[in-house]
Structures are given as C-alpha cells and as structure tokens.
Amino acid sequence: MGLTLVTGEPLRESQQDPKKEDEMPPISRGFRGRHRDDASSDRVPPGQYVTEDFPVLSAGPTPHTRLEQWDFSITGEVDNPHRWSWEEFRALPTEAVTVDIHCVTKWSKLDSVWEGVSVDTLLEGIETSGEYALPFCDGGYTTNLPLEDLTGGKAWVAFAYDGEPLEPEHGGPARLLVPHLYFWKSAKWVRGMRLAVTNEPGFWETNGYHIYGDPWKEQRYWGD
C-alpha cells in the first residue's frame, strides 16, 4: 500500500499557509480522495473528502488474537460484569448495516456495509448508573463516549465488513462501529467497555482530539 513519506520540507513550506497545512499531514498515506462536490453534501460532513478506498490508520501493531482467546466484557459501573466468549458473542442476534463513516484525517467512505451485534443487544438486562463508556482494546487503545451514543441503534460491535470476516488491519476479529462520530471512536480490536459515571478521556482524547467528535460540527480537536 504505497506509503508516501513527506517529512520536514513540505511541512515547513505549508506553515506559511495554515489552511494548506491542515490539509497536508506530516506523513501522507497518499490515498486518493475527491472533494465533496460529487457527493451529496448532506452525506459528507464539512472538511471531508470522499474516498472509495478504505485507508488503514493504526496507533500500534496489529494484534492477532485467536478467537478461542477472545472475549468481550462489560465492566465498571454494573451490578455484575458481563462476559461473552467469541462463540457466545456470535450466537447473539446480528444486524446488517450500511453506513457512512468519517475519519478525522478527512476521508469519508459512503455506504460501507457491516455486520455486527448492536450495543443495545449487549446491554440488554444490564443495570448501570454510568452515563459514559470507555471501550478498551487489544493493544491498549481506549476511547470515550456517552453511553447514549452507543444505544438506540447507533452503535455495533462489528465482525464483518463487505460480507467478509473483518480483517485484522481493519480491527478484526471485532471493532466498535459508531458511524455518527469520527471514526477514531470506532475502536479497532475492541474487547469490551468499562461503564463509568464520569467521562474519562481515552487514548486520543487525552492529547488533542475532541472529547466528543461530532463530524457534522467538525469537532476534531480540543476547543473545536
């Protein structure tokens, strides 16, 4: 997947024009995008480009957890922690969804097709005083969301993409899918979530990225 390294020179050059700089991260993956002109503007949030590709961004090495060692748990502010083995998880009712996804690095992908277990299904019968969730993952990644953004048919734990098992580089065996927020909230390699009374910032939210991340309000960074 041709990585294009753009180091110091272009970045210094772009500093003269903050807008241009914002469009050129220090290291470009060179994926192809097009402006929103040819996609309906009610589908593409401000500042985003539509891509046909599915770029891979990763904060760390790709884990390869064996399914027999995989589980998903809900912990924290619950009466009893819940845990599903892979077999138990896959026995839960599933949903097929077609959604648009929006990465904070400015690409959007329309009509992506997923299959997963609704977070509503996972939370069935769980009593909690927590109003926030901190999904956690293989590799140590975390992110934070209000629980109400994970319920009401808005979020899934997805195990298939485009009719195939989710590839490890895209978060397989399972990733969170929360399409109405920037895609860093859709944590890859998710293994569970801790429910909490307070909104504790996750891996990126502690270091510059927005605590909520609504793409329609361009909530990319602190203070946006």
Partner 1 sequence: MDALMLDGNAAAGLLQEIFGSEMTTAVGTCHACGTAGEVGGVFLYRGAGLVFRCPQCDAVLMKIVVGGTRRWIDLRGLRALELDLELGT
Pick between residue 3 and residue 127 the one whose CB is nearest to partner 1. 3
Near partner 1 by CB under 8 A: residue from 32, 34, 52, 60:
60
Segment contacting partner 1 by CB under 8 A, of 45-53, 57-65, 66-74, 90-98: 57-65
Rounded to a whole number of angstroms, the distance between the first and last alpha carbons of the chain is 32
In the bound state with partner 1, the residue whose beta carbon lies nearer, of 47 and 95, is 47
Encode burial over 168-179: b for 16+ CB neighbours within 10 A, e otherwise: eebbbbbbbbbb
Interface with partner 1, residue 129, by CB under 8 A: no
Q: For residue 204, which phi and psi values (nearest 5 degrees)?
A: -90, -30
DSSP state letter for 78: B
Cβ atoms within 10 Å of 193's Cβ, excluding its own: 30
- x/- letters, 155..174, toward partner 1 (CB under 8 A): --------------x-----
Cβ-defined contacts of 5-12 (< 8 Å, 24+): none
- Which string of x and - marks every residue 65-104 that binds partner 1 (by CB under 8 A)? --------------------------------------xx
Q: Is the separation of the CB atoms in 104 and 186 below 8 Å?
A: no
Query: Which residues in this chain contact partner 1 in the complex, by CB under 8 A?
Result: 1, 3, 5, 7-12, 15, 18, 21-22, 25-27, 29, 56-62, 103-105, 140, 169, 182, 184, 204, 206-209, 220-222
